[in-house]
Chains A and B, each alone.
Chain A
């Protein structure tokens, strides 16, 4: 019996024993919706399963246990990864049980959720894992039946020889002792039986009955609860009077560390009460405290002074603009945004003498482990990280700041600690989508051809605000792309589709302005530029011209572009995270009111693993892009966010959603990312449709604050 599985089994028993008092989640037995699962208990399956490789075990009960290594935050990887393994292994999905693997850098290569990168990274690995085990089962069967390997096939968890079938369960023990074959042949994609079918989320049962799944649901006996009051941006702790806070029943202690004031106690509510009674004085670290008006001024300073770096330069831009018959110029600006996943930040840490136990929601568990090891001065191997399901992430959980806080507190208190952030902590606590402003300029000759193009970006802690090798670079002879940065104490971080979540909106809106100025159809403008890039590419091109044209043409067809009466259509297309998404948004008058009625999306992400999950990712990305473009705003006064909770930080709600129709290009290309690519084009498609209907350009986000939007029904206020 495999050692790792044995120890997991022990853990399960221990957890079950404590479930009555202090409840703990460590593992979640996830199964698909099959009545067959009731016949053999999951406990028995896991107990008997024989390990083949990092990704799968096979049980003599004929069930397969598939381990999903990556953090699951709603991108549905915990369902789609196992589908790929099961496909190559050739088993019946109803006999698959999925387990969340914990951090194990020996077994797994990239236990990260970010950059929509899991599928392109793991696609071949997962297929090989399944195919290799299948080959071993066939070899065991060949021996047992004394027949040549070539005379065998497999079908739904059985090795088949003529009319004879041997189940994988019967072969599991024999096959596991065989040498592991290398470079096993993979299935032809036309033979896929599981990939391409709508397989439901493996955690559905647990999620819809309230079983403990998330970091927030971790409870341990003798665990202390902790919450932290953090300083405003640009300030440090001067002094704290915690007398009144300590009087609250259930509060055990108030500690200070690294400019933070931590309240420690026996439950969440006493801490929430006590925090309000803290009297804390802060003082500025240096200079002035930042407010939104200050940032607005900084943007203009950066853009007007020509500060920053040239990211790309093709041809002679100055000459093109000197010789231009006319120049079109526009500026676009977006605010900071909070990630605000529904589950606020939290983590469980138990710092012991020479080891650390971490449990919680992280997009980068290895970063969490290294941070804990550094704080405690121990080897990273002495730190274990158990992954819970994440109640959303959107990039916020790429950071380990909240893990570090939990570790610091557990170390100081010499006790297991669960750190909880309130919603207010989450929205005011930083690591935001950076605020950015762009200036676009297009030079047109007297034939209305685009002969020059300039993009200058200015960002606050945004790094490179551009994607300099993305379209329309490559299609314009004279092009210059610049980016400048202002360093602020307000912290920023990757936010779903970093940079492109706003850049794409701005660029796709600007191209719409250019199309209008030259009296050309917006889709024709893009296709013309792409044809030019294909025929006479200018400099490096990092996108596939034919795939981009493919989604554009498909969305034009699906939306009946330009041929609908009484409908104002807006177009947008973007390439990000290796995938292509084109969208058409439609506005129309309903009951005397202008409304955003529908958005069509055509995606090319290569092979679609799971159509139900893929549809969710596109839909979710679009509502994320549209909702934040329309409603979300985070402003600052003296280093403090003005919006602190969902009453003032407005997210999109059900009344505000348009109909969405999703389509995918079926081209058999290896799958690429889908967690992010549908988001970037949405703001542009929506803004272009709003313009078509109302004549108002939405150049600043959120749209709700823009002049002219009042006549547009964006739903009822939250």
Chain B
């Protein structure tokens, strides 16, 4: 066990965990930030996506020891009032079925749009393809990302 100081959603936390503990389990089990979901544990589904500085990363495969002083943003910290353009678009398009994967989808989409605010449909598909949705909400995810893009512009 070791002490790690991390920055999550603009707050500082200190946690005492093994160095190989994935960020996902620190967020969930130690910090009570349960919006970030576990589903595969091997970076294959994207349900655990968070931002490390501005990049979307799979928190299930990111050991706490490698986080350093990077700024972590989770779904809880994406916006103060739940009104990030991507969150707004997700509501307007009524994207979710079971909803379990959607925090990861939203975080992936938000990072993509930060990097490229006006993606083409092909770029949206490329950017979102690694996030699984078992309910099959892919059409609406695509629509919502494009809608969010139009809100950001």
Contact = CB atoms under 8 A, between A and B. Distances in A.
Interface of A: 22-23, 33, 73-76, 198, 200-201, 203-205, 207-214, 216-217, 219, 225, 249-250, 267-270, 272-273, 340-344, 389-394, 422-423, 612, 616, 619-624, 627, 645-647, 651-655, 657, 659-660, 716, 718
B83 to A, nearest CB: 9
B94 A341 contact: no
| Top-6 shortest CB links A-B | A210-B35, A391-B100, A623-B136, A74-B98, A74-B97, A210-B75
Given A210-B33, A627-B136, A269 B21 contact: yes
Given A205-B82, A627-B136, A211 B35 contact: yes
B141 interface: yes
Interface residues of B, number: 59
Nearest to B91: A204
Contacts of A392: 98, 100, 134-135
A631 B29 CA distance: 34
Given A216-B38, A391-B99, 18 more contacts: A203-B96, A203-B99, A205-B82, A207-B102, A208-B103, A210-B33, A249-B18, A341-B100, A342-B45, A343-B37, A343-B100, A390-B98, A392-B134, A620-B136, A623-B138, A645-B42, A646-B44, A647-B44
A23 B32 contact: yes
B37 A389 contact: no
B94 A620 contact: no
22 contacts: A200-B94, A201-B96, A204-B94, A208-B102, A210-B33, A212-B34, A216-B37, A217-B34, A268-B38, A269-B17, A269-B18, A269-B20, A273-B18, A341-B98, A389-B98, A620-B136, A646-B44, A647-B44, A653-B138, A654-B128, A654-B129, A657-B138
B7 interface: no
A249 B97 contact: no
Contact of A620 (B30, B97, B125, B129): B97
Given A209-B75, A423-B39, A646-B44, A342 B98 contact: yes
A209 B125 CA distance: 23
Nearest to B18: A249
A647 B102 contact: no
Contacts of B106: 208
* Interface secondary structure of A, over-half rule: loop
Contact of A268 (B29, B74, B98, B136): B29
A405 B96 CA distance: 30
Contacts of B100: 214, 341-343, 391-392
A660 B99 contact: no
B99 A74 contact: yes
Nearest to A393: B98
B58 interface: no
Contacts of B149: none
A210 B76 contact: yes
Interface string B120-131: 000001101111
B26 to A, nearest CB: 8
Contacts of B74: 210
B99 A389 contact: yes
Contacts of B32: 22-23, 219
A453 B21 CA distance: 60
B64 to A, nearest CB: 9
A394 B136 CA distance: 12
Nearest to B132: A651
B152 interface: no
A718 B131 CA distance: 10
Given A74-B135, A209-B87, A422 B96 contact: no
Contacts of A225: 29
Nearest to A655: B129
A216 B34 contact: yes
B98 A660 contact: no
Contact of A208 (B87, B126, B136): B87
B13 to A, nearest CB: 13
B113 interface: no
Nearest to B82: A209
A587 B99 CA distance: 31
A118 to B, nearest CB: 15
A201 B135 CA distance: 15
Contacts of A655: 125-126, 129
Nearest to B142: A654
Nearest to B106: A208
B41 interface: yes
Q: Which of B25, B75, B138 has the largest number of chain A CB atoms within 10 A?
A: B138
B91 A343 contact: no
Contacts of A216: 34, 37-38
Contact of B136 (A204, A391, A622): A622
Nearest to A626: B136
Contacts of B75: 208-210
B102 A619 contact: no
A422 B25 CA distance: 13
Contacts of A200: 91, 94
A657 B25 CA distance: 32
Contacts of B90: 204, 208
A657 B128 CA distance: 13
A596 to B, nearest CB: 14
A219 B27 CA distance: 13
Q: Which of A393, A624, A653 has the largest number of chain B CB atoms within 10 A?
A: A653
Given A74-B97, A269-B29, A655-B129, A205 B135 contact: no
Given A204-B90, A209-B35, A210-B75, A620 B135 contact: yes
Contacts of B138: 623, 653-654, 657
B40 to A, nearest CB: 5
A612 B94 CA distance: 8
Contacts of A212: 34-35
Given A343-B37, A423-B41, A645-B42, A660 B139 contact: yes
A267 B30 contact: yes
A674 to B, nearest CB: 12
B38 to A, nearest CB: 7
B76 A342 contact: no
A669 B119 CA distance: 44
A207 B99 contact: yes
B125 A654 contact: yes
A156 B36 CA distance: 39
Nearest to B89: A208
A616 B38 CA distance: 24
A207 to B, nearest CB: 4
Contacts of B41: 272, 422-423, 645
Contacts of A267: 17, 25, 29-30
Contacts of B40: 423, 645-646
Nearest to A659: B139
B101 interface: yes
Given A210-B74, A645-B44, A343 B98 contact: yes
Nearest to A657: B138
Contacts of B30: 267
Contacts of A659: 139
A588 B41 CA distance: 37
Q: Which of A204, A422, A716 has the largest number of chain B CB atoms within 10 A?
A: A204
A436 B105 CA distance: 35
A342 B101 contact: yes
B91 A210 contact: no
Contacts of A390: 98
Given A208-B87, A269-B21, A341-B134, A198 B129 contact: no
